[in-house]
Chains A and B, each alone.
Chain A
Amino acid sequence: MRDYSYPSVYFAYFYFVLLLVGAIFFFLRSVRHGYWGKDSEEAKYRMLKDDDEDSYEDLRRPL
């Protein structure tokens, strides 16, 4: 059986680098999109109302 240890390790290194570059890219984008600025708290208030439709549905249930 051939030993694929080194190709596997290089593959793993490549994967790590790929993910690291991706993580840095999206982290920098998150800075640009205001996640670390003064508007960063808006999303937490908006999510509290995101399933209001369910209560509307109850009202529209046939009597």
Chain B
Amino acid sequence: MQNEIAKSAGEIPVSEAVRYNESLHQDTTAKLFLVSSITYFFIVGIVALMIAAKFVWPELLGTVQYLTYGRLRPLHVNGMLFGWLLAADMGLMYYVVPRLCGVKLWSEKLGIATAALWNFIILGAVVSTIMGWNQGWEYAELPMFLDVLVVVAWIMFGANIFMTVAIRKYTQMYVTIWYCLGTILWTAFVYLTGNFAALFATGVNQANLNWMYVHNAVGLIFTPVGLAIAYYFIPKTSNSPLHSHKLSMIGFWSLAFVYVWTGAHHMLHGPISQWLQTIAIVFSVMLLVPVWAVVYNFFATMRGQWDQMRDNVPLKFLMTGVIFYLLTCFQGPMHSLRSVNAIVSKTDWIPGHAHMAVLGAFSFFAIAGCYYVVPKIFRRNLFSDSLANWSFWLFLIGGVGFFVTLWLGGFWQGWQWNNPAIPFIDTVVALKPVWIVRFFSGIFMFGGIVAFAYNILATMLGSSGNESSKMAAATA
């Protein structure tokens, strides 16, 4: 009887679920989010290549309005951020949070409805960006009705996760849950400010609100959810306990108090108050505190475990992502300094930096999570370890080529812009070799996407490519 009551309250301990001969976790929502996000990763990857090609061959695709740079770029940005990365992170949260709480997801039906609504929003975003129905604000391009639907979907997601945490078995929450809850609250704040409040301001106030949104979309949405994933999957895939839970809490709280003030560093040397610029610089430099707390914890967790990097593909993605995270978070404070910013601001350096954060760090974490989770929730072996390894190297080679080229190109571009004797058009022509390398790096990265997406799809469909799977099948 007691077990029945516990079951109806969603509090079936793992041991009880085994006795009942049933699975504690359905994972339907996680499956839906992961399948759709990986599909968008592939589709928007094609758009990314088209954009990179247009840098080198501007006449490519002619003058078809739907395929112009102005239409494709917001499609690429919104598709990658919300169609791939955030959706994959949400899918992984639906997997991780119930397990860390020792209970079922509060409502699988609500989760499925959230996945359906999220897909409707992404498809709406594809149509609206291609059609040019665009609010004209960085990261906030989507029309108002889609913004409202994002808020509704986020409330549905947040309610499900918060209620799951509320009925948890254990009082103390692992750091991943703290980051998940932080992401849900901060996203609400950041998204409402960037997509609604900013529309009612004018002039420099409007620009300032927009940059606060843009920076915190990375800092208070993708950073905490990315770290939530890394904190879960690094100990899991290496089978080693986290170095220090207390240090992870220091990282969480220092991020919570520091990150929100940094957005104005996008407007250095602009027409905003000097005190606001200085505050943004000071807090940007203070970011080194949470970053080092996080990175040290991960490296210390790996002490004595580095040999696993030879053949543990999820761990390769995770620890490479940690290195990219360290690099990008060192870059950020440095180029928020006035002297450095005078050179790199608005140049190709910035997309190099942003791609290292969103692709190099947070997408690597999400890819590792998918490689770990998909075989478990579909109860099949990964289709091919070898293909997974290929996907890692393609992403790494393409990514490093892309980031380094854009940093060097951006710095060069900045030096040229600072010399009034050089006509602007000459600085555009001079950068063509940089954009050629960028395009070919993009081909490598797209190869990584194809290998990753095919591997996951084949795993879901139950194809057997692994030697171990074949041997198991042969002996059976």
Q: Which residues of A contact B (CB under 8 A)?
A: 3-5, 7-9, 11-12, 15-16, 19, 22-23, 27, 30, 33-36, 39-48, 50-54, 56-58, 60-61
Contact = CB atoms under 8 A, between A and B. Distances in A.
B347 to A, nearest CB: 29
Contacts of A16: 260
A42 B246 CA distance: 10
Interface of B: 14, 17-18, 21, 23-25, 99-100, 102, 170-176, 185-186, 189, 192-193, 197-198, 200-203, 205-206, 209, 232, 235-236, 239, 241-242, 244-246, 249, 253, 256-257, 260, 376, 379
Contact of A5 (B172, B205, B376): B205
Given A4-B201, A15-B193, A41-B244, A56 B18 contact: yes
A48 B235 contact: yes
Contact of B185 (A22, A47, A56): A22
B244 A5 contact: no
Given A23-B253, A35-B245, 8 more contacts: A8-B197, A30-B253, A41-B246, A44-B241, A48-B241, A50-B14, A53-B17, A56-B14
B185 A45 contact: no
A27 B253 contact: yes
28 contacts: A3-B202, A4-B201, A8-B197, A8-B200, A12-B193, A12-B197, A15-B193, A16-B260, A23-B253, A30-B249, A35-B172, A36-B246, A40-B246, A42-B245, A44-B235, A45-B241, A47-B176, A47-B232, A47-B236, A48-B235, A48-B236, A51-B99, A53-B18, A53-B25, A56-B14, A56-B18, A57-B23, A61-B379
Given A47-B235, A51-B376, A33 B256 contact: no
Contacts of B173: 43
Contacts of A36: 246, 249
A51 B379 CA distance: 13
A35 B249 contact: yes
A7 to B, nearest CB: 7
Contact of B170 (A27, A46, A52): A46
A19 B18 CA distance: 42
B275 to A, nearest CB: 15
B246 A35 contact: yes
Nearest to B252: A30
A1 to B, nearest CB: 8
At the interface, is chain B mostly helix, strand, loop or mixed? helix
A8 B209 contact: yes
Given A9-B201, A23-B256, A43 B189 contact: no
Contact of B102 (A27, A50, A56, A61): A50
A57 B17 CA distance: 10
Given A40-B249, A53-B17, A58 B379 contact: yes
Given A46-B170, A47-B235, A51-B376, A19 B260 contact: yes
A3 B21 CA distance: 63
Contacts of B249: 30, 35-36, 40
B236 A19 contact: no
Which of B14, B21, B239 is most buried by chain A, counting CB atoms within 10 A of its CB?
A: B14
Given A8-B201, A56-B18, A60-B21, A43 B379 contact: no
A45 to B, nearest CB: 6
Those 5 A-B pairs whose CB atoms lie nearest each other, nearest first:
A4-B200, A8-B201, A44-B242, A43-B174, A50-B99
A33 B172 contact: yes
A41 B246 CA distance: 7
Contact of A8 (B23, B25, B172, B205): B205
A41 B245 CA distance: 5
A51 B92 CA distance: 14
A54 to B, nearest CB: 5
Contacts of A51: 99, 236, 376
A46 B100 CA distance: 8
